[in-house]
């Protein structure tokens, strides 16, 4: 397994353990992209309400 694939698995696990709060809260640049590695979808969520 490549390092990138391993990081994606770890990232998904960590995100899943957030008790779905990310699904309820408005996107936050700090939470979505600075505290964890963000995806294009997460970055889009941050700016969609601006």
**pLDDT tens digits, one per residue of 1-50:** 788 877 776 665 444 445 455 555 555 666 556 566 667 777 777 677 65
pTM of the model: 0.29
Helix, strand, coil percentages (3-state) for the chain, rounded to 5, are 65, 0, 35
- Determine the pLDDT at residue 2: 85
Residues contacting 37, CB < 8 A, separation 6+: 7, 11
The boundaries of the domain holding residue 42 are: 3-47
Beta-strand (E) ranges in the chain?
Answer: none
Considering its fold, how many domains does the chain have in total?
1
CA distance 14 to 7: 11
């Amino acid at each position: 397994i490549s390092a990138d694939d391993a990081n994606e698995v770890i990232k998904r696990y960590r995100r899943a353990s957030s008790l779905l709060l990310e699904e309820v809260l408005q996107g936050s640049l700090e939470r979505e992209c600075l505290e964890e590695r963000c995806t294009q979808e997460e970055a889009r969520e941050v700016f969609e309400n601006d």
